[in-house]
Amino acid sequence: MGKILVTGAAGQIGSELVVALREKHGEENVIATDILLKAVERVLPSGPNEQVDVTEIRKLQEAIGTWGVTTIYHLAAILSAAGEKNPQTAWDVNMKGLQNILELSRELGVKRVYWPSSIAVFGPGIPRVKTPQDVPLVPTTMYGITKAAGELLCNYYHQRYGVDVRSIRYPGIISNKVPPHGGTTDYAVDMFYQAILKKRYTCFVREDTVLPMMYMPDAIRATLMLMDASPKSVTYHMGHNLAGLSFSAGELAREIKKHIPGFTCEFVPDFRQKIADSWPESVDDSVARRDWGWKPKYNLATMTEDMIKELGARAKQGKLAA
């Protein structure tokens, strides 16, 4: 079989997606790459790993050619909060990286490409509850701009060159293996770590802030479902809306308190509040449900229970650090 290349593999999603792909396709068939080789070797100690900067087209070309890559999961990116601190870098990494991947896929005949978009494509002036799939995309962050432009670029490469590129507008992803960094939805993960380690947390968005979120097992399952779907059932080559859970920061704190009664949370909004306020509270994912059978499994209660079980077990072994 052709090999699978994953970029940005050391990150929050890559570190778990690579494990799922290696389980499904065989360890030797999935090449995990990241700009940080040491980080990828630490989180994915077995299987082929390589240092690849996605902004360097020659290095990418060499990796795709040498390994005989037929499928790419392109995850490398700068996220929303980090992108607001350094918009130029966010543009360079997110746009140049995606263009390099699409161009090489066209040139070298890569059969299928996965590229995640985000709820960050949305901006003000649209319904914030059950945001429809097709609304004007007017994001207010550089990250959101790169995701909206990236969706158009994916659609262009599909229509013009037939590149089979597929995409999901991930909500904020909640997970317990590699902590997130540089995003606006990070508080929904940080809260768990701090509740377990210190029994208190200072949350950087208001208590009533509601955002769409998803537990990692659902996100991985959705990604594999979309990539396995037959080309006929994938009618969309821009990002698919995907709903999992929607809750306020206060509701999450109260749910955690059910398991850790002494937990206290205060809410001290910083610059990320403005980003959160520009995003939907929930999205309408009927296209993904209709076209490739998407349905989430986790709700707030089951996700919280599982997070606390996993992180609590690591804390007991002295292996948990935020």
Binding site for ligand NAD (CB under 6 A): 7-8, 10-14, 34-36, 39, 52-55, 75-77, 79, 93, 97, 116, 118, 170, 172-173, 180, 182-183, 185
Q: Do the strands 245-248 and 210-215 form a parallel or antiparallel pair, or are they unpaired? A: antiparallel
Task: Output the smallest distance, CB 316 to ligand NAD, in A.
Answer: 26
Distance CA 147, CA 137 (A): 10
> Furthest-apart CA pair in the chain: how many Å?
58
Q: Which does 253 bind (CB under 5 to 8 A by kind): ligand AKB, ligand NAD, none?
A: none
* Residues at the interface with ligand AKB (CB under 6 A): 79-80, 118-120, 143, 172, 183-185
Nearest residue by C-beta to ligand AKB?
183
Q: Is the alpha carbon torsion for 181, 249, 203, 131 positive or negative?
A: positive
Q: Which does 222 bind (CB under 5 to 8 A by kind): ligand AKB, ligand NAD, none?
A: none
In sequence order, which residues have a C-beta less than 8 Å from that of residue 255 and are 6 or more positions away? 247, 300, 301, 304
Q: Residue 47 or 183: which CB sits closer to ligand AKB?
A: 183
Q: Which does 80 bind (CB under 5 to 8 A by kind): ligand NAD, ligand AKB, none?
A: ligand AKB
Q: Which amino acid is at 4?
A: I
> How many helices (H) and strands (E) would you count in the chain?
13, 13
Q: Residue 103 or 260: which CB sits closer to ligand NAD?
A: 103
Q: Residue 11 or 296: which CB sits closer to ligand NAD?
A: 11
Task: Output the smallest distance, CB 206 to ligand AKB, in A.
Answer: 16
Task: Output the smallest distance, CB 219 to ligand AKB, in A.
Answer: 11
State how far Cα 254 lies from the chain centre. 25
Say which DSSP state 120 is in. Answer: G
Q: Which does 47 bind (CB under 5 to 8 A by kind): ligand AKB, ligand NAD, none?
A: none
Q: Which does 6 bind (CB under 5 to 8 A by kind): ligand AKB, ligand NAD, none?
A: none
Q: Residue 70 or 278: which CB sits closer to ligand AKB?
A: 278
Task: Output the smallest distance, CB 320 to ligand AKB, in A.
Answer: 21
Q: Which does 184 bind (CB under 5 to 8 A by kind): ligand NAD, ligand AKB, none?
A: ligand AKB
220 near 20, Cβ under 8 Å? yes
Q: Residue 110 or 219: which CB sits closer to ligand AKB?
A: 219
Nearest by Cα to 190 from 260, 248, 265: 265
Task: Output the smallest distance, CB 168 to ligand AKB, in A.
Answer: 11
Task: Output the smallest distance, CB 76 to ligand AKB, in A.
Answer: 14
Nearest by Cα to 7 from 24, 27, 30: 30
Q: Residue 31 or 119: which CB sits closer to ligand AKB?
A: 119
Q: Is 143 a catalytic residue?
A: yes
Nearest by Cα to 185 from 204, 199, 172: 172
- Exactly one of 73, 114, 143, 157 is catalytic; which is it? 143
Q: Which two tokens stand for residue 266?
A: 């205060």
Distance CA 125, CA 70 (A): 40
163 near 157, Cβ under 8 Å? yes
Nearest residue by C-beta to ligand NAD?
11
15 near 43, Cβ under 8 Å? yes
175 near 12, Cβ under 8 Å? yes
Q: What residues act catalytically?
A: 143
